[in-house]
Every structure is written in structure tokens, then in C-alpha cells.
Structure 1
């Protein structure tokens, strides 16, 4: 009898110890950015790297944006836009965006251009040169220390290149000669908001012919009365104690 009691005690101790260890190993989750009082980003992982989740309590949404390896953006981040949501990462090599209030997400990059304006001739900014990223009126604006402005298109698609549209025929001059080109609805290129381009490199590019890339702002729009955070916040020591 005493042996059985002792055995039961050992088993209970083992279960309790295993439960405590499992609890200690629970991956920490923290809010790293608030857009407003009901929309925010959560990071699940250690050392400020891991899975990224977007939550909108009014819409009842809790959606995984990236499953792993996301690291918080370090620059100034202002984001009053609601339909178009763009999230930069640590290295600013691209963005994860949603065009439907956060329900679905896709990765976007910088547009392919024949030359770059960054130090060394790069066509996208290095992390250490990024000053801020602002998303307002369903359009994103990334500003660098050198004053270069990378932005997404206006938030609509040119109806001429939508299915059934007439397409866009255009002329261009290269090396002193005039040529013609066409943007066909069957291959119109990226949809609105799905690529970023440095403003000064747009001239002479095919995108310049499409309506969503015309009449663009030439500087980051001023944002007033923003109630969200202006930087991401992350505790790298969370869950390590």
C-alpha cells in the first residue's frame, strides 16, 4: 500500500512539473503597434522576431500576416489608412499589404526600374537610410534620409486595362527615335498598391502611362489628429525570464 501511495506521489509530481515547464515554454505574444483603439499588430515570438498577426476588434478579425521571421520596423510609422494596410519589415526590402481591410495579405516589392537613386545606385533603400513610412488615403509613402520618396500608386486601377478595356497605346522616344507601345488588358502589370517606385524614376517608364500613376503627391501628405502609435514598440526580453 505504501509503495502504491509513493508511486502515485511521484506520478503527480511528474505531471505537475511537466505542466509548469510547458507553461514556461509558452511563446510570448505582445502588441507591437496600434493603429487606433480597435486595430493593432501582435508579434508572437522571442527577441522581437516571429509570427505577425493583425487584429480588428470591430470587424471581428484576427488574421496571421506572416507565419515566422517577422522583425519590427524601426523607423517612424504613421498609418491612419484603413482599407489599404501596408506593413514594412526590419530591412525595408518590401511590404506586406492588404487591400481589403486586413482580410487577405500579399507581399509587394519595389518596381523594376533601369536605374536607382540610392547611394551606390541601388533601386531600393537600405534600412539605415529609411526615415519614415506613412500610409494615408490608401497610399503608402516611404521617405529616406536622402529625400527620396518611394510610393505606391493612387488607389484605383486604370479602367482602360481592366478586363474588357481598350488597352493603352502610347508613343515614346529612345535614343532620338520615336517608337510605339501598348499596355494590353490581358497583361496590365501590377494592380494598384502592389508595387512601390521612387518618384523621380517614374518618368519614361510604362507605369507612367496608367492613370493610377499620374497626378501623384510629390511629398509625404501631412497627417493630423492621428491617434495611433508613431513607432512600433517591442520588448526583446519578453518571455525570457
Structure 2
């Protein structure tokens, strides 16, 4: 009986070890600074993406599965507005509240690329920079950017709306249909010229190039070990 208990104990221990061995590894794939970072949980550098801010006690999951790291230059000193793109750079996951909640955002609706698409092929992507609560995706042909970090007060509930003219015809943007909130779409100046968002104050005087970032303490690329957990 004693030997049976010993064997059962060993079998249980082996089962626990085997179970633990099958758990996917978790590794830090990006550091914004000394207290904010991204973790990827999964095999072969694909899986769940987690965001952590140890000072604000925030631990959230921007992407629940199938996330693959962005391999181009990535510089992100911004703290309130956090934007993350993945391997294909075909869209963004963003937070406007320090990483507590997350939203998917869209690219410019206009045809900005030589191939007629509204976003660049991955081979054309150069860098992604998020600074002063704005995101800037630079490609060989275009600069995609989010709006300035505020909403036009004229489009707030009860606001007067926005009046504008095209070829002498009067038009009006109602507060009931304000379009995307700040930071929730990425547009080029080429696309903006064909979009009514150009009349919103937070889309005016956007830069022609990525703003310079000085004294950044974080990583400038995501990192991932394909052999983690092996």
C-alpha cells in the first residue's frame, strides 16, 4: 500500500510537471520606460498581448490571441494615448486612458498608396512613433497620423456643429454624427483633403513629418525570442 502511495505521488508530480511544461511562455517584448511594458504569452512569438503599468497598477490585455510583434522601428514616449500595431501594420489597437481600456482603429479611407490601397504593404513601412498623444506611421510613400488629442467642442452634445462650404454650397456637420473621436482613426494629409474631418479643429495644422523625440528611455524596437519556453 505504501509503495502504491509513493507511485501515485510520483505520477501526480509528473503530471504537474508535464502540465507546467506545456504552458506557453510569457516574455517582455517591449519596454516604454522603467514601469510600462508589453508582454507576449504564446509559442513562436504569437499569442496574447498584455500591457502593464506598475505605477498605476494597470494590467490589461489589448489582444487576446494571434498577436505578432511589429518589427519596424517603434518609439513610444506617450503615456495617456497608447497605440500598438502588429506585424502586418494593417490597423491599430489604442488606449486613451493610460492602458485601462482598448479600441480598434481604422486607417485613412482614401487611396493613399501607389497600389491603390489605403494602407501600405508591410515592406514599405518604416516606423511607428507615438508622441504627445498622437500616433505617426511612416511609410515609403505616406505619413499616416491620428488627430490631435482632443475632440472639436463644436461637435459635443448640444454643440452648434460645424458649418462649411464646398464650391459655394453650404454644408453642416451635426453633433449627432461627429465622426471618429480623437485618436481613433489614422489619416494622411492627402486623405484629409477629401474628408470632412479637415474642418474639425483637431485635424487642422497636422505636421508634415514625424515629430522629433528626444531623450527617449524606452526600446526602439519590439523584441521576441522564438525559442522561449523550449
Quick one: distance in 1 between partners of 2:3 and 2:191?
Answer: 78
Q: In structure 2, which of residues 134, 137, 140 is the aligned counterpart of residue 142 of structure 1? A: 137
Task: Give matches, 1:26-37, under 5 Å.
Answer: 26-37=23-34
Is 1:117 equivalent to 2:112 in the alignment?
yes
Counterpart in the other structure of 1:48: 45
* Conserved? CA contact 2:52–2:59, under 8 Å: yes
Deviation at 1:7, TM superposition (A): 1.9
Deviation at 1:10, TM superposition (A): 2.3
Counterpart in the other structure of 2:4: 7
Deviation at 1:99, TM superposition (A): 0.4
Deviation at 1:180, TM superposition (A): 2.7
Quick one: distance in 1 between partners of 2:124 and 2:27?
Answer: 27
Quick one: distance in 2 between partners of 1:226 and 1:85?
Answer: 15
Counterpart in the other structure of 1:201: 191
Q: In structure 1, which of residues 113, 116, 128 is the aligned counterpart of residue 123 of structure 2? A: 128
3-state secondary structure, aligned to 1:11: helix
TM-score of the superposed pair, with normalisation by structure 1: 0.93
Quick one: distance in 2 between partners of 1:166 and 1:86?
Answer: 31
Q: In structure 1, which of residues 210, 214, 225 is the aligned counterpart of residue 200 of structure 2? A: 210
Q: In structure 2, which of residues 147, 161, 186 is the aligned counterpart of residue 167 of structure 1? A: 161
Deviation at 1:204, TM superposition (A): 3.3
Quick one: distance in 1 between partners of 2:88 and 2:202?
Answer: 27
Deviation at 1:186, TM superposition (A): 0.7
3-state secondary structure, aligned to 2:59: strand
Higher strand residue share: 1
Counterpart in the other structure of 1:61: 58
Counterpart in the other structure of 1:101: 98
- Deviation digits for residues 99-120 of structure 1, max 9, x if unmatched? 011111111011323xx12131
* Conserved? CA contact 2:108–2:191, under 8 Å: no
* Conserved? CA contact 2:144–2:186, under 8 Å: yes
Quick one: distance in 2 between partners of 1:94 and 1:117?
Answer: 15
Quick one: distance in 1 between partners of 2:182 and 2:18?
Answer: 49
Structure 1: tracts of 5 or more residues without a match? none
Tell me the matched-pair count: 230
Structure 2: tracts of 5 or more residues without a match? none
* Conserved? CA contact 2:36–2:54, under 8 Å: yes
Q: Which has the larger radius of gyration?
A: 1
Deviation at 1:179, TM superposition (A): 2.7
Quick one: distance in 1 between partners of 2:195 and 2:170?
Answer: 13
Quick one: distance in 2 between partners of 1:112 and 1:200?
Answer: 10
Task: After the TM superposition, list the runs of 4 or more consecutive aligned residues in structure 1 that deviate by more than 4 angstroms.
Answer: none
